[in-house]
């Protein structure tokens, strides 16, 4: 087997298409090499080896060693040096690189190959001992941390002590001699901690680092990241070994990261940061505050530190040209990493840049307008679920702001919460339902949990490309980074801001749009959706086949749904209308009535209320289809619970509390979800369905008389399993329709249909379609009844199922295509065979889930219906499914 793929000198054995085999980083390094871009030579050990490693007790196949040694020879030839050579040593970086980018999730080792001997050769060759020893101490730190498992703080402490002793402000002030001292201190510390000296053999170092990369695939933060992003464990990571280039060789050297467009706003302007005389992780780790790459960005930020454009114009010019070429080559915004060694530019990474949802919209619209991609590609490229981020609140511009600090606007949206200083505290608060802001000097991958739990993130160090910023943008969490005027004092556990002291638990607000940090809670506004949003939505609407409706039962919901582009209501639940304060009493009287006439008396009270509900909704929907579901939940849910409630109903009904209590007890059910509910209610108490039908038809007649808007109510009978059930209820509905039409003299068009939410209904769909004019798949109940899993009780074991790989996804979140989907497919086919023009839709939670929407398209449903705020997501997902 070929485990190793070499790249360098304008040639490469792999290409961008080999992401599965070489990982994203390796595949793109190969591609850049073949494009003739300046890339240090190197080789990639495949993801297949990672799989082999884990399948074989963390060991390698015998062929690996000779393949790696041969690759090292080749790389050395291109670089003009040899690995382990005491006179002209080849130094390498060892970098992980999974199929899907996992930024900062895995560790990188730089300057590998240095030891007490080779460091002298490097110093002599470069004529710069400071640089050589700086590289060596960096290598020791990283290697010990990543490979030998020594805590970072061990070295940090020594370094800080030396810095203080020498009176230095920044690391770059250290001289060669200072670094030699530090290295000696490091080495004795290592011996003391590990009982063995720092490894001097470059090959031992290399294999140690390779093993560490593979092991890191299973480390805690990588596992967490995969879980959060649904990345399968089986994918594995590749290892990239690459000749070093040095950004720490003095004032004419630098290292940086950049995006070809602004990842926060999508604006077409190169956006990035760099540090002079620095290496690799310095920029992302937020050790020094980085400088802007372009002069324009520097001016906008009002920074007094020179831009790369001014400082190194030649390297800058080649970088801009390469950035532009890469964006055109990949037809997407790129995220680039580069290093400048003594004025010469080297490219170290390119990949599709992560961006906020609004940046994604802007970039897609701009690129389609620029002709770089088609409109369909633009639509296909937006992550539908991410639109959710755009619905984030922002701070009311009229609200007073008590600004206590300012940092970088690292991730948009505003958030309010109590201060916590650790990820653990953030998680605890989340579990108790308390909103918090995670406040850190800087975040590291260990903080992923805490960032997830927090409403927003505030750091006092680090730039726009710091860990906190990148991860927050990916999560869609508001983030302010690098708020340098704030200080976290861990000793006393406080945040110091402009002379004020804030403790854990004090409430602050962060504004990810301006970078401001504010005292207390501040009023927020719902976001305005930008022009790009409607442009993409317009393109999506052109591309999609399925209609998108909303689940809405109040006029306010209906209005929201329409403003998001809903083309009707797919599910109007009538029971919510009965929980209102004034109505629940009448409802209880109705349920607890002993005789039909008592029941009718209570229903008469409910009729006008119900009618006015529908009148309003029909008005808002102005002729768009509205599917109304008859009363569905178990009666149980409406029963009076407390003595007080029982007394209230008893006095309203003029019966004794004792009698009422007995009646209540007789209605008690063991398993209400499979009990007296749905159409079963209409079969036992037809007068309930009749009242509801009357309310619907009278409202429709009223709407028709008033606005002339042709309302076509679709009356939906829930929980039907048998045709005979539907027929029984339908006969009552038809009779009421006839009566109301007679009384009002207005002809009303209406449909009667059913939910398909029981397996029996799906299996007998042909028969049921004989009477049902539409089906709406109630996939919440259909999932419960197909799996035999109660949704309300599933949380306790579904998580265990997930962790043991019994199921991949929660079937209540994303439709189980194989099982529940099979029933849907059967019902669709049978329904259509019996009634060619039967209307088919879905109204479960799944109607707003992009993966489930894709399934709905494949089985050919007419529409999906989801909660109002998910309508834009569904419109986009429906388009993507159709493309
Ligand atoms: P990550 O996946 O966390 O971004 P990388 O493998 O990209 O990790 O390495 C992090 C940084 O280390 C790079 O951005 C680059 O600055 C530096 N680096 C990696 N390899 C080299 C190299 N061969 N020469 C110089 N710097 C390197
Ligand atoms: Mg990188
Ligand atoms: Mg249901």
Residue whose Cα lies nearest atom 16 of ligand 1: it is 280
50 given a catalytic annotation: no
Tell me, yes or no, whether 580 and 608 share the same domain: yes
- CA distance linking residue 772 with residue 838, whole number of Å: 8
Token digits of residue 409: 């606007």
Ligand located closest to 98 CA: 1
- Please indicate whether residue 104, judged by its CB atom, sits closer than 6 Å to ligand 1: yes
The shares of helix, strand and coil residues in the chain, as percent rounded to the nearest 5, are 50, 15, 35
pLDDT (mean) for 804-828: 92
Q: Which of 110, 254, 286 for mutating ligand 1's site (highest number of atoms within 8 Å of CB)?
A: 110
594-616 mean pLDDT: 90
> Does position 344 have pLDDT exceeding 80, yes or no?
yes
Distance of CA 67 to the CA centre of its chain: 40
The closest-lying atom of ligand 1 relative to the alpha carbon of residue 279 is 16
Least confident window among 325-339, 553-567, 631-645, 761-775: 631-645
Report whether 60 contacts 35 (CB < 8 A). no
> Percent of the chain beyond pLDDT 90?
68
Distance CA 60, CA 81 (A): 27
Q: Is residue 174 a part of any domain in this protein?
A: no
d(CA 692, CA 606) in angstroms, rounded, equals 9
Cα of 332 from ligand 3 centre, angstroms: 43
Pocket test for ligand 1, best of 242, 279, 349 (most atoms within 8 A of CB): 349
Q: For helices 176-194 and 152-166, what crossing angle results, to 10°?
A: 140
Can you tell me the distance from the alpha carbon of 449 to that of 428, in angstroms, rounded to the nearest whole number? 11
* 671 exposure class (CB count in 10 Å sphere: 0-12, 13-18, 19+): exposed
Nearest ligand, CA 283: 1
CA–CA distance, 723 with 727 (Å, rounded to integer): 6
Q: What is the pTM of this model?
A: 0.80
Calculate how far, in angstroms, residue 879's C-alpha sits from the geometric centre of ligand 1.
38
Last residue of a domain, one of 496, 525, 554: 525
* pLDDT score for 306: 96
How far, in Å, from the CA of 63 to the mean position of ligand 2?
29
| CA-wise closest residue to 483 among 516, 509, 512 | 516
Distance between CA 599 and CA 519 in Å, rounded? 57
Beta-carbon neighbour count of residue 158 at 10 Å? 19
Q: Which candidate in 33, 479, 843, 866 is catalytic? A: 843
pLDDT for 384 beyond 60: yes
Determine which residue's CA is closest to atom 11 belonging to ligand 1: 280
Residue 650 CB less than 6 A away from ligand 1:
no
The rounded Å distance from CA 7 to ligand 2 centre is: 17
Provide, rounded to the nearest whole percent, the portion of the chain with pLDDT above 70.
98
Please choose, from the candidates 338, 96, 123, the residue with its C-alpha nearest in 3D space to the C-alpha of residue 219: 96
Same domain, 413 and 552: no
For residue 474, the model assigns a pLDDT of 66
* 655 dihedral zone (left: phi>0; alpha: psi -120 to 50; beta): beta
Bridge partners of 501, per DSSP, are 496
Which one of the ligands is nearest to 337 CA? 1
Instruction: Tell me if 244 CB under 6 Å of ligand 1.
Output: yes
* Orientation angle between helical segments 596-621 and 686-706, nearest 10 degrees: 30
pLDDT one-digit tens code per residue, 92-131: 999 999 988 776 556 789 999 999 999 999 999 999 999 9
Q: Is the CB of 108 within 6 Å of ligand 1?
A: yes
Judge whether 693 lies within some domain. Answer: yes
Residue 546 lies in a domain: yes
User: Does position 356 have pLDDT exceeding 80, yes or no?
Assistant: yes
Q: Pick from 355, 373, 405: which residue ends a domain?
A: 355
Predicted confidence at residue 580, as pLDDT, reads: 67
DSSP labels, 484-539: TTEEEETTTTEEEETTEEEETT-EEEEETTTTEEEES---EEPPPPPHHHHHHHHH
Q: Do 498 and 552 reside in the same domain of the chain?
A: no
Judge if the beta carbon of residue 8 lies within 6 A of ligand 1.
no
Structure tokens at 369: 């307008």
67-71, 365-369, 634-638: the lowest-pLDDT one: 634-638
CATH code for position 295: 3.30.470.20
User: How do residues 150-176 score in pLDDT, each as one tens digit?
Assistant: 988 889 899 999 999 999 988 889 999
Q: How far apart are CA 18 and CA 16, in angstroms?
A: 5
What's phi and psi for 548, nearest 5 deg?
Answer: -125, 120
Binned at pLDDT 50, 70 and 90, residue 387 comes out as confident
**H or E, element range at 6:** strand 4-8
User: For residue 759, what are the contacts with CB-CB under 8 A and spacing of at least 6?
Assistant: 782, 785, 786, 823
Identify whether residues 768 and 838 lie together within a single domain. Answer: yes
Please name the residue that has the structure tokens 């398993």: 671
Is residue 206 one of the residues assigned to a domain? no
Asked if 256 and 285 touch (Cβ cutoff 8 Å), the reply is no
pLDDT average, residue stretch 733-745: 96
Q: How far is CA 851 from CA 504, 815, 846, 855, 874, in A?
A: 41, 8, 9, 7, 10
- Tell whether 847 is covered by a domain: yes
Complex confidence, ipTM: 0.96
Q: Tens of pLDDT along 682-713?
A: 999 999 999 999 999 999 998 888 766 678 99
Q: Which ligand is nearest to the CA of 95?
A: 1
How many CA atoms, within 13 angstroms, populate the side-chain half-sphere of residue 609? 19
Ligand 3 centroid to Cα of residue 780, in Å, is 6
If asked whether residues 804 and 680 sit together in one domain, one would say yes
Question: Of 307, 326, 355, which one is at a domain's C-terminal end?
Answer: 355
Contacts of 444 (CB under 8 A, 6+ apart): 104, 467
Name the band, by pLDDT with cuts 50, 70 and 90, for residue 670: confident
Res 374: pLDDT: 97
pLDDT tier for residue 380 given thresholds of 50, 70 and 90: very high
What gap in Å lies between CA 7 and CA 5, rounded to an integer? Answer: 7
Helix (H, G, I), strand (E, B) or coil at 762: helix
Q: Are strands 4-8 and 11-12 parallel, antiparallel or unpaired?
A: antiparallel
**Do residues 501 and 593 share a domain?**
no
Cβ–Cβ under 8 Å, residues 345 and 319:
yes
Q: What mean pLDDT is predicted for residues 465-480? A: 80
**Which atom of ligand 1 is found nearest the CA of 280?**
16
Per DSSP bridges, beta strands 839-842 and 774-777 are: parallel
Tell me, in angstroms, the distance from the centre of ligand 2 to residue 691's CA: 65
Q: Label residues 126-151 b or e (16+ Cβ within 10 Å = b).
A: bebbbbbbbbbbbbbbbbbbbbbebe
State the closest ligand 1 atom to the C-alpha of 246, by its place in the atom list counted from 1.
25
Query: What are the helix and strand counts (H, E) for the chain?
Result: 34, 32
Ligand 1 site, residue 337, Cβ cutoff 6 A: yes
pLDDT at position 776 is 98
Asked if residue 23 belongs to a domain, the reply is: no
Ligand 1 in reach of 112 Cβ (< 6 A): no
User: The tokens 């897609």 sit on which residue?
Assistant: 364
Q: Does residue 110 line the site of ligand 1, with CB under 6 A?
A: yes
pLDDT over 70 (residue 637): yes
The answer to whether residues 293 and 410 belong to one domain is no
Residue 617 domain-assigned (yes or no): yes
Ligand 1: residue of 95, 135, 467 to mutate (most ligand atoms within 8 A of CB) is 95
How far away, in angstroms, is 685 Cα from ligand 3 center? 19
Determine if ligand 1 sits within 6 Å of the CB of residue 38.
no
CB of residue 386 inside a 6 A radius of ligand 1: no
pLDDT band, residue 581 (cuts 50/70/90): low
Q: Is the CB of 239 under 6 A from ligand 1?
A: no
142: in domain: no
Whole-angstrom Cα distance, residue 607 to residue 459?
A: 57
The enclosing H or E element of 554 equals none
Domain check: are 612 and 513 in the same one?
no
Q: Give the closest residue (by CA) to ligand 1 atom 27.
A: 280
Tell me, yes or no, whether 716 and 789 share the same domain: yes
Please tell me the predicted confidence (pLDDT) of residue 103: 60
Query: For atom 1 of ligand 1, which residue has the closest CA?
Result: 104
* CATH number of the domain where residue 747 is located: 3.20.20.60
Domain shared by 479 and 568, yes or no: no
- Residue 845 CA, ligand 3 centroid: distance in Å: 11
Please indicate whether residue 339, judged by its CB atom, sits closer than 6 Å to ligand 1: yes
Of residues 683, 706, 694, the one with CA closest to residue 613: 694
- Strand 403-406 vs strand 408-411: parallel, antiparallel, or unpaired? unpaired
Into how many domains does the chain fold? 3
Per the residue annotation, which of 52, 449, 467, 846 is the catalytic one? 467
Supply φ then ψ for residue 806, to 5 degrees: -75, -40
Residue 204, helix vs strand vs coil: helix
User: Ligand 1, closest atom to CA 92?
Assistant: 23
One domain for residues 705 and 760: yes
For residues 608 and 692, give the distance between their C-alpha atoms in angstroms, rounded to a whole number: 10
* Dist. CA 878–CA 245, nearest whole Å: 47
* Two structure tokens written together for 590: 């109705």
Q: Which residues are annotated as a binding site for Mg(2+)?
A: 757, 781
DSSP for 235-266? G-EEEEEEE---TTSSTT-EEEEEESS-TTT-
C-alpha–C-alpha distance, residues 724 and 727, integer Å: 5
> Tokens representing 845?
């939670």
pLDDT over 70 at 206, yes or no: yes
DSSP 675-735: SS-THHHHHH-HHHHHHHHHHHHHHHHHHHHHT-----EEEEE-S--SHHHHHHHHHHHHH
The binding site comprises 573, 629, 757, 778-781
Q: Is the pLDDT of residue 218 over 70?
A: yes
Which amino acid residue places its CA nearest to atom 22 of ligand 1? 244
State residue 629's pLDDT score. 97
CATH number at residue 517: 3.50.30.10
CA distance 483 to 195: 41
The whole-angstrom separation of Cα 456 and Cα 413 is: 9
Write down the pLDDT at residue 635: 82
Contact 349 CB / ligand 1 (< 6 Å): yes
Averaged confidence pLDDT in the chain? 91
What are the distances in angstroms from CA 535 to CA 362, 544, 553?
10, 14, 29
Alpha carbon distances (Å) from 713 to 568, 604, 679, 728, 754:
11, 22, 18, 19, 13
Is 467 annotated in the active site?
yes
Does residue 496 share a domain with residue 419? yes
The residue assigned the tokens 């009634």 is 835
Note down the domain range covering 490: 393-525
What are the φ and ψ backbone dihedral angles of 372, each rounded to 5 degrees? -75, -35
């Amino acid at each position: 087997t070929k485990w190793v793929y070499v790249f360098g000198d304008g040639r490469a054995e792999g290409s961008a298409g080999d992401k599965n085999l070489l990982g994203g980083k390796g595949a793109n390094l190969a591609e850049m090499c073949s494009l003739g871009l300046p890339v240090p030579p190197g080789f990639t050990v495949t993801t297949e080896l990672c799989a082999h490693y884990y399948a074989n007790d963390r060991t390698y196949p015998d062929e690996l060693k000779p393949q790696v040694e041969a690759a090292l020879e080749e790389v050395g030839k291109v670089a003009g040096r040899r690995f382990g050579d005491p006179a002209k040593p080849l130094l390498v970086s060892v970098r992980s690189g999974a199929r899907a980018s996992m930024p900062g999730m895995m560790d990188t080792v730089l300057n590998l190959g240095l030891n007490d001997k080779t460091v002298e050769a490097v110093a002599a060759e470069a004529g710069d001992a400071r640089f050589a020893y700086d590289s060596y101490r960096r290598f020791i730190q990283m290697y010990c941390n990543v490979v030998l498992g020594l805590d970072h703080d061990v070295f940090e402490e020594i370094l800080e002590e030396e810095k203080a002793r020498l009176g230095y402000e920044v690391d770059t002030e250290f001289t060669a001699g200072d670094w030699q001292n530090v290295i000696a201190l490091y080495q004795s510390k290592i011996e003391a901690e590990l009982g063995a000296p720092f490894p001097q053999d470059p090959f031992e170092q290399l294999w140690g680092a390779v093993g560490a990369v593979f092991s890191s695939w299973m480390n805690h933060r990588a596992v967490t990241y995969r879980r959060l992003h649904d990345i399968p464990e089986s994918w594995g990571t590749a290892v990239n070994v690459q000749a070093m280039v040095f950004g720490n060789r003095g004032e004419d050297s630098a290292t940086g990261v950049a995006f070809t467009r602004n990842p926060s706003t999508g604006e077409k302007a190169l956006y990035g940061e760099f540090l002079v005389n620095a290496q690799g992780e310095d920029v992302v780790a937020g050790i020094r505050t980085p400088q802007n790459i372009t002069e324009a960005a520097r001016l906008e930020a009002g920074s007094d530190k020179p831009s790369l454009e001014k400082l190194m114009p030649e390297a800058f010019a080649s970088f801009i040209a390469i950035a532009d070429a890469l964006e055109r080559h990949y037809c997407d915004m790129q995220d680039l990493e580069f290093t400048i060694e003594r004025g010469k530019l080297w490219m170290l990474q390119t990949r599709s840049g992560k961006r906020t949802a609004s940046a994604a919209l802007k970039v897609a619209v701009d690129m389609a307008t620029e002709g770089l991609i088609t409109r369909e590609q633009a639509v296909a490229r937006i992550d539908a679920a991410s639109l959710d981020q755009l619905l984030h609140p922002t701070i009311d511009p009229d609200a007073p702001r008590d600004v206590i600090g300012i940092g970088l606007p690292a991730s948009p949206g505003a958030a309010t919460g109590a201060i916590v200083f650790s990820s653990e505290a953030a998680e605890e608060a989340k579990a108790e339902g308390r909103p918090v802001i995670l406040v850190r000097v800087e975040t590291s991958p260990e903080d992923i949990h805490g960032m997830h739990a927090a409403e927003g993130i505030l750091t006092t160090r680090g730039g726009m490309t710091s860990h906190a910023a990148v991860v927050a943008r990916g999560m869609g969490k508001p983030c302010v980074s690098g708020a340098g005027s704030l200080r976290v004092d861990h000793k006393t556990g406080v945040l110091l801001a402009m002379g004020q002291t804030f403790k854990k638990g004090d409430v602050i607000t962060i504004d990810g749009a301006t970078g401001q940090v504010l005292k207390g809670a501040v009023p927020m506004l719902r976001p305005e959706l930008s022009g790009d949003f409607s442009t993409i939505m317009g393109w999506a609407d052109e591309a999609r086949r399925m209609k998108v409706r909303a689940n809405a039962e109040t006029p306010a919901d209906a209005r929201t749904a329409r403003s998001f582009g809903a083309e009707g209501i797919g599910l109007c639940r009538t029971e919510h209308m009965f929980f209102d304060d004034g109505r629940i009493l009448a409802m209880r009287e109705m349920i607890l009535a002993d005789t039909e006439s008592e029941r009718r008396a209570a229903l008469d009270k409910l009729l006008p209320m119900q009618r006015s509900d529908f009148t309003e909704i029909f008005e808002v929907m102005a002729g768009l289809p509205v599917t109304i579901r008859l009363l569905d939940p178990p009666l149980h849910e409406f029963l009076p619970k407390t003595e007080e409630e029982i007394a209230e109903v008893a006095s309203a009904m003029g019966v004794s509390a004792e009698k009422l209590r007995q009646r209540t007890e007789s209605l008690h059910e063991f398993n209400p979800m499979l009990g007296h509910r749905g159409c079963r209610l209409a079969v036992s108490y037809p007068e309930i369905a009749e009242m509801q039908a009357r309310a619907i038809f009278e409202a429709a007649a009223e709407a028709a008389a008033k606005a002339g808007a042709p309302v076509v109510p679709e009356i939906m009978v829930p929980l039907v399993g048998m045709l005979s059930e539907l027929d029984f209820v339908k006969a009552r509905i038809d009779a009421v329709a006839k009566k109301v039409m007679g009384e009002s003299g207005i002809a009303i068009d209406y449909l009667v249909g059913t939910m398909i939410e029981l397996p029996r209904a799906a299996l007998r769909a042909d028969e049921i379609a004989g009477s049902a004019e539409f089906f709406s798949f109630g996939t919440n109940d259909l999932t419960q009844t197909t799996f035999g899993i109660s949704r309300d009780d599933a949380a306790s074991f579904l998580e265990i199922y997930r962790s043991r790989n019994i199921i991949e996804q929660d079937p209540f979140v994303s439709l189980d295509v194989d099982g529940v989907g099979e029933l849907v497919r059967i019902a669709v086919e049978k329904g259509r065979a019996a009634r060619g023009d039967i209307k088919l839709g879905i109204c479960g939670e799944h109607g707003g889930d992009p993966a489930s929407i894709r399934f709905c398209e494949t089985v050919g449903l007419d529409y999906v219906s989801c909660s109002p705020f998910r309508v834009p997501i569904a419109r986009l997902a429906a388009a993507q499914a159709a493309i």
